[in-house]
């Protein structure tokens, strides 16, 4: 019923605006949050079911489990056979997948609009009645271990990507990797899968977002029909994510037999996502690394010719987050010279701030990027789910844009001064193995 | 971004399974209880509006008014296929260096102008292609400014000597970096095995070709190739032809030049079946690429092979994924595909498997190749494949640039004007016999090139079971037997 829907009024951004996505929100009696985002520009819809669980919820000895579990969600439920989820979505012209990160796990589909019931049925059946067995677990354990080899163990710098997080955090929640260790994956048991499902895969621990060519009232009735009878479960405790105050720089060297060139990875501990200071760091990174005219590329790659590539990216987690800087030193360049040049750029911002021109550029790039992220309704549905699980509010899909556009040059300078300090820093240097001696 | 590694779970099912598997078995199982709409949403792809300027520049516009953005895509019908034989990468160097200086703007001024619009603008030329592209994307309010910048790059790039030297150093480092990637090594060896030393064999520049490029040779390549009658300009987004045409005429109307000689396709003699082992010490997986020559883009078999490939390995619901991942757990993903161009492109299957299952995985892969040739595709499985391809059409309406790309490629290859209007119907009409015929013709065991990238100490002996073996090092040099 439309009367039960709450239409949100959202503040528009400043002069440079963003097309506003209208949202309807509702919570079912079993606690499932539902957000509907109508957009009839193409005869398709995107659906995302985002669960409030990620690798941060794992315990020692069970790393990689949230992601392994995500694979199990495609292995069948009471009314859907092993793998049938795939066959039904793909063979009816859709696309689908599931992903796991530190904070959340999501499952999503996009389909022509006449297949709405199909998507709702498939998502509801696995939320209600996941069916697991040993053969499927063994098979998916193999697939996940191949995923790890493909992305980490058989790639240059793969292990360094794990090492930078390992060294940056003390709290187990974010210290360990999403993909998990081979040994822990070997140890995962069927009972673990069943327990994990019961604790985390309840309607009151998830948000369902639906964007696209839908009628909100009709869509909500359908959601109620498919999901309404799934029982709620006790809300799981949120893991403690806090970190001790950092007292000094941390460094390590990784000798990588698969690498042919060294690589420098640096992180700084920054505040959680969707806070004023994290937002300032987001705009700092956009300013310093947004495009080829920005300081990182101009200084490190073009002018001084210290690096072949560079990247500066902040993340926005529920808990303490990281700003990463990565660069590959040119042949003949000492990694320490490249490292010093990176610090010099950041020190200059801390000392003198950024220019009005740089900020204007960053804002415009951010606006274009945000608009591009609205191109498909699936992207919209996924973003709403992600923001809701991480920061509790679907309307952030509209509101975050204004917040970031309002970040000032002073705030950026203050954040650089406060957070980009040696005591918050972790440095991982990868060297090709031959150079060890 | 390392902190948000999105770990994709791509699983698959065999379209053949019809609920016969017992619960607990490893095979996929189809219960068919989910409510499926039997209708395939009829979708007509919007056709572009087309205008050819007096100087020969073809302008194609696809409108989409959901978002206030515009994307430009300029295709120059000369690309890596036209590289001088001793300078592989010339088209790529020229395209990528457009933004490093024009008569009016320095490299840094160009970068600033693009970034101030919040836009993207860059040239590229993919190896194996006869096209160089200049792509730009920005806010629609900047449509004219962005087009002016793009035209400045295309028409007035000067390839300044100091920027060329800097670019060459960056290229050399990139080349070094690529050689540590097993997927790159597999691609390099596979294309060389199909095309010998002809242009389509190249997948990267070489240290020598990077060294050979100069301001003069780059400018010459651009002057001869970047001419209006050799180009299409595609425009997609929140615009109309009426609105955009005066801007295009202003920026490109007085662009001149004589069309260059087009690349002449050469015939490739397929090599006999063999195994090419790239020795990458320390590998914990074997990267497998196996395939052979397929067809030119204009070949009428294209759609038939598209359907057959959808069944064999064209996605997570196809046989290879089912067998090699879901049934056996050998790999994270196994797919097949083919490309078709001005010359016969490759058909190939690709997967990465842990060292110890290299032999059974390869055996299973070859068994699937044999099966799709030998056995007619069961009607329900074929029906799934056809429906998947047709129903997916609706989704493309969300991506105007991708749509525009379809129409531009139809025109480039000289396909009929209504090609994409009839495509769905052609897919739906493909019979089991036709799909099997296509598989027989284009999955070719007699000429199959099997590339294995891995640690030769571990996989060297088993490689010999699959054919005569040639061994290469990671620098692409043949090793003595």
A418 and A277 housed in the same domain: yes
Cα A214–Cα A94–Cα A388 angle in degrees, nearest 5: 55
CATH number, position B378? 3.30.830.10
Q: According to the model, what pLDDT value does residue B3 have?
A: 28
**Are A83 and B11 inside 8 Å of each other by CB?**
yes
User: Is A153 part of any domain?
Assistant: yes
- What per-residue confidence (pLDDT) applies to A8? 31
Q: What is the residue-averaged pLDDT of chain B?
A: 93
Same domain, A37 and A176: yes
Q: Which of A193, A227, A261 is at the close of a domain?
A: A227
Q: Among B28-37, B40-49, B337-346, whose mean pLDDT is lowest?
A: B40-49
Q: Report pLDDT digits (tens) over B233-281.
A: 999 999 999 999 999 999 999 999 999 998 888 889 999 999 999 999 9
Residues B289 and B244 occupy one common structural domain? no
Nearest to B329 among A143, A153, A367 (CB): A143
Same domain, A255 and A219: no
Distance CA B186, CA B178 (A): 11
Q: Could you tell me if B327 and B246 lie in one domain?
A: no
For residue A237, tell me if it sits in a domain: no
Q: Quickly list DSSP for A48-64.
A: EEEES--GGG--TT-TT
Give the C-alpha distances (Å, rounded to integers) separating B135 from A356, B237, B467: 28, 14, 44
**Same domain membership, residue A398 and residue A309:** yes
DSSP state of B450: E
Global pTM reads 0.93
Domain end residue (candidates: B252, B284, B318): B252
Does B13 have pLDDT greater than 70? Answer: no
- B322 & B432 share domain: yes
pLDDT digits (tens, 9 = 90+) for B418-462: 999 999 999 999 999 999 999 999 999 999 999 999 999 999 999
User: Sorting pLDDT into bands at 50, 70 and 90, what band is B16?
Assistant: very low
Q: How many angstroms away from the CA of B259 is the closest CA of chain A?
A: 33
Is the pLDDT at B168 greater than 80, yes or no?
Answer: yes
Residue carrying the six token digits 């160009």: B110
Q: Is A161 touching B (CB cutoff 8 A)?
A: yes
One domain, residues A210 and A337: no
Is residue B117 in some structural domain?
A: yes
| pLDDT recorded at residue B264 | 87
Inter-chain touch A371–B316, beta carbons under 8 Å? no
DSSP assignment of A189-248 equals -HHHHHHHHHHH-SGGGEEEEEEES--HHHHHHHHHHHHTTSPP-PPPPPPP---PPP-S
Q: Which residues of chain A have pLDDT under 70?
A: 1-16, 434-437
Do A257 and A207 reside in the same domain of the chain? no
Full domain range(s) for residue B142: 49-252
Return the structure tokens found at B100.
Answer: 């490093």
Task: Name the token pair of A423.
Answer: 């005591």
Examine residue A235 and state whether it is found in any structural domain, yes or no.
no
Residues A283 and A184 in one domain: no
Chain A residues inside the 8 Å CB shell of B141: none
> How far apart are the CA of A235 and the nearest CA of chain B, in angstroms?
25
Q: DSSP 3-state assignment of A250?
A: strand
Note whether B179 and B99 are same-domain residues. Answer: yes
- B171-194 as b/e, with b when 16 or more CB fall inside 10 Å? bbbbbebbbbbbbbbbbbbbbbbb
- Is there a single domain that holds both residue A62 and residue A179? yes
Q: In the predicted model, what is the mean pLDDT of residues B354-371?
A: 98
Task: Give pLDDT, residue A163.
Answer: 98
Whether residues B292 and B334 share a domain: the answer is yes
Whether A81 and A37 map to the same domain: the answer is yes
Closest CA to B422 of B433, B398, B406, B441: B406
> Are residues B247 and B357 both part of a single domain?
no
pLDDT of B23 above 60: no
Cβ–Cβ contact A344 with B under 8 A? no
- State the nearest Cα–Cα gap between B398 and chain A, in angstroms: 6
Number of domains in chain A: 2
Residues B288, B244 share a domain? no
Of B252, B284, B316, which residue constitutes the final position of a domain? B252
Q: Round to whole Å and give the CA distance between B62 and B469.
A: 50
pLDDT of residue A222: 98
Cβ A118–B116 below 8 Å, yes or no? no
User: Chain-centre distance of CA B470, in angstroms?
Assistant: 27
Q: From the list B12, B285, B316, which residue is nearest A154 (CB)?
A: B285
B39, part of any domain: no
Q: Is the pLDDT of residue B17 over 60?
A: no
What is the predicted pLDDT for the residue at A1? 33
Chain A CB within 8 Å of residue B269 CB: no
Among the candidates A227, A260, A291, a domain finishes at A227
Q: Give a yes or no: residue A34 inside a domain.
A: yes
CA distance B225 to B252: 15
What is the helix, strand, coil percentage profile of chain A, to 5? 45, 20, 35
Q: Are B420 and B407 in contact (CB under 8 A)?
A: yes
In contact, A23 and A384? CB cutoff 8 Å = yes
- Written as six digits, the tokens of A351 are 């000392």
The answer on A310 and A199 residing in a single domain is no
Within the 20-79 window of chain B, which residues sit less than 8 Å (CB to CB) from chain A? 21, 23-31, 33-37, 39-41, 43, 64-69
Residues A128 and A63 in one domain: yes
Task: List pLDDT tens digits, range B56-102.
Answer: 999 999 999 999 999 999 999 999 999 999 999 999 999 999 999 99
The yes-or-no verdict on residue B153 having pLDDT over 70 is yes
Q: Residue B367: is its pLDDT beyond 50?
A: yes
B252, B283, B309 — which closes off a domain?
Answer: B252
pLDDT tens track for A266-313: 999 999 999 999 999 999 999 999 999 999 999 999 999 999 999 999
What was the pLDDT predicted at B26?
A: 67
Across the interface, do B116 and A367 touch by the CB < 8 Å criterion?
no
Are A285 and A364 contained in the same domain?
yes
Find out whether B54 and B48 touch, Cβ atoms under 8 Å.
no
| pLDDT value at residue A205 | 98
**Contact present, A56 and A173 (Cβ < 8 Å):** yes
Choosing among B1, B2, B153, which should be mutated to test the A contact, i.e. which has the most A CBs within 10 A? B2
In a domain, residue A212? The reply is yes
Q: CB-based contact (8 Å) between B143 and chain A?
A: no
Helices of type H across A54-99 = 65-72, 84-91
**Considering its fold, how many domains does chain B have in total?**
2
pLDDT of residue B481: 77
Place of tokens 């239409």: A7
CA distance A231 to chain B (A): 21
Q: Are residues B321 and B175 in the same domain?
A: no
B contacts of A17 (beta carbons < 8 Å): none
Distances (CA, A) of B134 to A80, A305, B71, B72, B413: 47, 26, 11, 8, 19
CA angle B331, B332, B338 (to 5 degrees): 90
Note whether A152 contacts B: Cβ–Cβ < 8 A.
Answer: no
Give, in order, the Cα–Cα distances in Å from A316 to each of A16, A270, B63, B431: 24, 9, 35, 51
Q: Are residues B342 and B432 in the same domain?
A: yes
Residue B344 predicted with pLDDT over 50: yes
The answer to whether residue B294 scores a pLDDT higher than 90 is: yes
The answer to whether residues B227 and B278 belong to one domain is: no
Strands A95-100, A44-51: pairing kind = unpaired
Domain carrying residue A364: 250-436
Residue A258 counted as domain residue:
yes
Strand-pairing partners, residue A36, are A24, A210
**Structure-token match 């067809």, residue found:** B295
Residue A239 placed within a domain: no
The answer to whether position A416 is within a domain reads: yes
**Residue A327 belongs to a domain with what CATH number?**
3.30.830.10
């Amino acid at each position: 019923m439309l009367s039960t829907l709450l239409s949100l009024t959202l503040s528009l951004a400043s002069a440079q605006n963003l097309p506003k996505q209208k949202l309807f929100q509702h919570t079912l009696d079993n606690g499932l949050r539902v957000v509907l985002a109508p957009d009839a520009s193409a005869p398709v819809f995107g659906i995302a079911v985002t669960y409030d669980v990620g690798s941060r919820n794992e315990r020692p000895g069970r790393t990689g489990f949230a992601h392994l579990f995500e694979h199990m969600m495609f292995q069948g439920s009471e009314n859907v056979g092993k793998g049938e989820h795939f066959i039904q979505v793909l063979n009816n012209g859709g696309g689908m997948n599931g992903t796991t990160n530190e904070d959340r796990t999501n499952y999503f589909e996009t389909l022509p609009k006449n297949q709405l019931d199909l998507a709702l049925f498939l998502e509801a059946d696995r939320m209600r009645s996941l069916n697991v067995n040993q053969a499927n677990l063994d098979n998916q354990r193999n697939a996940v271990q191949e995923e790890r080899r493909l992305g980490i163990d058989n790639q240059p710098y793969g292990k360094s990507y794990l090492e930078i997080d390992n060294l940056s955090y003390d709290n187990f929640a974010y210290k360990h990797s999403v993909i998990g260790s081979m040994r822990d994956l070997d140890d995962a048991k069927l009972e673990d899968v069943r327990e994990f499902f019961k604790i985390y895969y309840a309607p009151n621990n998830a948000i369902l977002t639906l964007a696209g060519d839908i009628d909100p009232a009709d869509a909500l009735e359908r959601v109620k029909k498919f999901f309404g009878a799934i029982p709620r479960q006790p809300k799981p405790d949120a893991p403690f994510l806090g970190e001790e105050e950092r007292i000094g720089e941390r460094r390590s060297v990784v000798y990588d037999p698969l690498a042919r060139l060294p690589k420098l990875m640096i992180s700084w501990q920054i505040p959680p996502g969707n806070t004023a200071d994290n937002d300032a760091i987001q705009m700092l990174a956009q300013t310093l690394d947004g495009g080829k005219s920005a300081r990182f590329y101009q200084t490190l790659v073009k002018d001084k010719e210290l690096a072949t590539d560079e990247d500066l990216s902040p993340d926005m987690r529920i808990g303490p987050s990281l700003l990463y800087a990565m660069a590959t030193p040119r042949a003949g360049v000492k990694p320490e010279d490249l490292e010093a040049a990176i610090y010099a750029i950041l020190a200059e911002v801390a000392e003198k701030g950024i220019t009005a021109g740089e900020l204007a550029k960053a804002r415009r790039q951010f606006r274009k990027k945000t608009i591009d992220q609205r191109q498909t309704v699936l992207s919209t549905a996924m973003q709403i789910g992600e923001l809701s699980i991480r920061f509790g509010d679907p309307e952030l899909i509209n509101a975050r844009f204004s917040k970031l556009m309002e970040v000032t040059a002073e705030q950026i300078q203050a954040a650089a001064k406060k957070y980009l300090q040696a005591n918050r820093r972790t440095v991982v240097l990868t060297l090709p193995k031959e150079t060890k001696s | 971004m390392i902190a948000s590694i999105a770990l994709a779970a791509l699983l698959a099912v065999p379209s053949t399974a019809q609920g016969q598997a017992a619960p607990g078995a490893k095979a996929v199982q189809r219960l068919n209880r989910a409510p499926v709409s039997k209708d395939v949403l009829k979708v007509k792809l919007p056709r572009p509006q087309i205008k050819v300027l007096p100087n020969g520049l073809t302008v194609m516009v696809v409108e989409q008014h959901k978002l206030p953005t515009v994307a430009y895509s300029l295709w120059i019908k000369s690309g890596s296929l036209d590289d001088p034989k001793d300078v592989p990468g010339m088209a790529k160097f020229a395209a990528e260096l457009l933004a490093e200086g024009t008569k009016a703007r320095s490299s840094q001024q160009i970068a600033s102008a693009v970034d101030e619009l919040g836009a993207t603008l860059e040239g590229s030329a993919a190896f194996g292609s006869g096209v160089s592209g200049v792509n730009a994307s920005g806010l629609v309010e900047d449509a004219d400014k962005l087009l002016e910048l793009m035209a400045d790059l295309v028409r007035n790039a000067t390839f300044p000597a100091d920027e060329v030297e800097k670019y060459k150093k960056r290229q050399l480092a990139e080349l070094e970096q690529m050689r540590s990637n097993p997927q790159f090594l597999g691609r390099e060896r596979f294309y060389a095995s199909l095309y010998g030393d002809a242009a389509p064999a190249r997948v990267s520049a070489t240290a020598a070709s990077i060294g050979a490029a100069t301001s003069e040779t780059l400018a010459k390549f651009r002057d001869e190739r970047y001419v209006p009658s050799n180009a299409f300009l595609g425009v997609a987004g929140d615009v109309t032809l009426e609105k955009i045409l005066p801007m295009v005429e202003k920026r490109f109307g007085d662009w001149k030049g004589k069309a260059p000689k087009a690349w002449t396709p050469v015939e490739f003699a397929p090599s006999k079946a063999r195994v090419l082992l790239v020795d990458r010490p320390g590998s914990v997986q074997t990267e497998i690429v196996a395939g052979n020559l397929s067809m030119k883009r204009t070949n009428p078999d294209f759609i038939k092979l598209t359907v057959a490939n959808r069944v064999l390995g064209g996605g997570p619901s196809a046989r290879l994924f089912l067998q090699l991942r879901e049934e056996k757990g050998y790999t994270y993903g196994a797919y097949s595909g083919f490309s078709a161009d001005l010359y016969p492109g490759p058909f190939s299957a690709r997967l990465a498997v842990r060292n110890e299952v290299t032999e059974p995985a390869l055996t299973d892969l070859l068994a699937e190749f044999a099966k799709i040739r030998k056995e007619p595709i069961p009607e329900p499985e074929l029906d799934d494949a056809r429906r998947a391809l047709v129903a997916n059409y609706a989704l493309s309406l969300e991506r105007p640039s991708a749509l525009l790309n379809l129409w531009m490629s139809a025109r480039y290859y000289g396909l009929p004007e209504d090609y994409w209007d009839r495509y769905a119907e052609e897919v739906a009409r493909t019979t089991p016999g036709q799909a099997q015929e296509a598989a027989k013709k284009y999955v070719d065991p007699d000429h199959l090139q099997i590339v294995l990238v891995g640690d030769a100490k571990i996989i060297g002996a088993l490689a010999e079971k699959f054919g005569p073996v040639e061994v290469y090092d990671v620098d692409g040099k043949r090793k003595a037997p």
